């Protein structure tokens, strides 16, 4: 088998016609790349332009909420680039993007700072200030602001890209120290709203009073006033004392109300007795006055002739009685002041009483 293979390869070598007896592999087909010198140069130029555009990037796209600061040979242009597509000269010009959306600085303690940062949110340590007596107090607050897009180029030119650390942060800390330093630590919680208003007004006036209004102040929220432990203990003792005083005042007020209630009830009873007695006295007086008036009317009506007529009437009745009872007696009144009176003497009780 090995002999047959050798004979096959020897025949192949003989058919190749090579003098050296070596094996010559077949050559690949040739491609005609001769397109002309002009066309080749144009293609190479186009490729070079594409590569240059990809590497140099002579344009920039600015999105909403951003402004572009154009620098030509290191000098900032006075007007910022608005959102959109802008072409620049590579190498000579460069565009710096700045954020004009609302930004937030949280001044918080270490526990709240963990994981609180995000896009447009910066976390800084709580602001430590001294109260009116020199006691340390920590203030936690949130400040919202944004870069003034109208003067963005001037702001970056004057303050640099770290303008927030040069404008916002120092102003906030300075205002907070000035405001809180006017109060004693114990009075800070009770004056919280007033302190928050003073801090907001102070920060707003300081930021908006800067030349060219580099930033626009949005708002500030006073989130926490962290007092020293001894001040907290003192406030707690004061609160407990106030609660005791209020409880005592409530007891005194309750006792006063009970006393007033009892006094009102006694006064009511006394007034009722007085009114009852007065009513009875008034009734007696009225009755007496009525009797006196009646007696007066009667006395005025008892004339001499009327009395005489009454005597005659009684005498007539006596005469009638004598016809029936001869024991009847008549008592004559002297002077005729009153009519005569007659009595039937048949009645044993009348007889005994007359006797």
Give how far Cα 166 sits from Cα of 6, 126, 161, Å: 91, 18, 10
Chosen domain end from 205, 227, 249: 227
Question: What pLDDT score was predicted for residue 197?
Answer: 95
The answer to whether position 5 is within a domain reads: no
CB 153 within 8 A of CB 77: yes
Both tokens of residue 177? 């120290």
Domain count, the chain: 4
The answer to whether position 40 is within a domain reads: no
Do 128 and 198 reside in the same domain of the chain?
yes
Do 287 and 330 reside in the same domain of the chain?
no
Do 72 and 112 reside in the same domain of the chain?
no
**Of 184, 182, 176, residue with least CA distance to 224:** 176
CB 131 within 8 A of CB 188: yes
Question: What pLDDT score was predicted for residue 220?
Answer: 93
% helix / strand / coil in the chain, to the nearest 5?
Answer: 55, 20, 25
Q: Determine the structural domain holding residue 251 and report its residue range.
A: 229-301
The answer to whether position 332 is within a domain reads: yes
Do 90 and 110 reside in the same domain of the chain?
no
Do 199 and 241 reside in the same domain of the chain?
no
The answer to whether position 84 is within a domain reads: yes
Do 325 and 295 reside in the same domain of the chain?
no
Chosen domain end from 203, 227, 251: 227
Do 116 and 221 reside in the same domain of the chain?
yes
d(CA 24, CA 185): 102
10-residue averages of pLDDT along the chain (355 residues): 47 47 51 58 80 76 91 89 89 89 89 59 91 90 93 90 91 94 90 94 91 90 88 75 83 86 84 84 83 76 71 74 68 54 55 43
Look up the CATH number of the domain holding residue 173. Answer: 3.30.479.30
The answer to whether position 20 is within a domain reads: no
Strands 329-331 vs 59-62: parallel, antiparallel or unpaired: unpaired
Do 111 and 222 reside in the same domain of the chain?
yes
The answer to whether position 234 is within a domain reads: yes
> How many other C-beta atoms can be found within 10 angstroms of the C-beta atom of residue 293?
10
Question: What pLDDT score was predicted for residue 20?
Answer: 46
Question: What pLDDT score was predicted for residue 144?
Answer: 95
Do 134 and 183 reside in the same domain of the chain?
yes
3-state secondary structure 84-105: EEEECCCCCEEEEEEECCCEEE
Do 65 and 113 reside in the same domain of the chain?
no
The answer to whether position 190 is within a domain reads: yes
Do 114 and 83 reside in the same domain of the chain?
no
Q: Return the SS3 of 75.
A: strand
Question: What pLDDT score was predicted for residue 355?
Answer: 43
The answer to whether position 291 is within a domain reads: yes
Question: What pLDDT score was predicted for residue 82?
Answer: 92
Do 334 and 265 reside in the same domain of the chain?
no
Question: What pLDDT score was predicted for residue 291?
Answer: 82
Chosen domain end from 43, 78, 99: 99
């Amino acid at each position: 088998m090995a002999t047959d293979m050798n004979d096959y390869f020897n025949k192949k070598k003989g058919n190749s016609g090579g003098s050296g007896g070596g094996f010559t592999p077949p050559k690949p087909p040739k491609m005609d790349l001769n397109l002309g010198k002009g066309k080749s140069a144009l293609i190479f130029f186009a490729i070079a332009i594409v590569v240059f555009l990809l590497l140099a990037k002579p344009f920039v796209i600015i999105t909403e909420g951003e402004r572009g600061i154009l620098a030509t040979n290191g000098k900032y242009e006075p007007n910022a680039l608005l959102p959109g597509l802008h072409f620049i000269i590579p190498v000579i010009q460069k565009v710096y993007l700045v954020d004009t959306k609302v930004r937030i600085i949280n001044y918080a303690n270490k526990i709240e700072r963990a994981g609180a940062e995000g896009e447009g949110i910066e976390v800084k340590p709580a602001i430590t200030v001294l109260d009116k007596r020199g006691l340390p107090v920590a203030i936690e607050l949130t400040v919202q602001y944004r870069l003034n897009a109208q003067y963005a180029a001037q702001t970056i030119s004057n303050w640099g890209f770290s303008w927030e650390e040069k404008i916002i942060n120092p102003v906030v800390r300075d205002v907070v120290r000035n405001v809180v330093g006017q109060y004693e630590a114990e009075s800070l919680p009770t004056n919280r709203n007033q302190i928050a208003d003073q801090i907001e007004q102070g920060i707003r006036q300081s930021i908006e009073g800067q030349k060219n209004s580099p930033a626009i102040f949005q708002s500030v929220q006073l989130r926490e006033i962290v007092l020293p432990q001894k001040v907290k203990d003192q406030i707690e003792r004061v609160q407990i004392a106030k609660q005791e005083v209020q409880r005592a005042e409530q007891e005194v007020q309750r006792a006063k109300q009970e006393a007033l209630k009892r006094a009102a009830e006694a006064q009511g009873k006394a007034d009722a007795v007085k009114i009852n007695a007065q009513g009875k006295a008034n009734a007696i007086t009225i009755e007496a006055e009525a009797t006196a008036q009646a007696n007066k009317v009667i006395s005025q009506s008892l004339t001499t002739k009327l009395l005489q007529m009454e005597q005659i009437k009684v005498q007539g009745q006596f005469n009638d009685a004598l016809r029936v009872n001869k024991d009847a007696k008549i008592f004559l009144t002297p002077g005729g002041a009153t009519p005569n009176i007659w009595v039937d003497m048949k009645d044993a009780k009348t007889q005994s009483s007359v006797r």
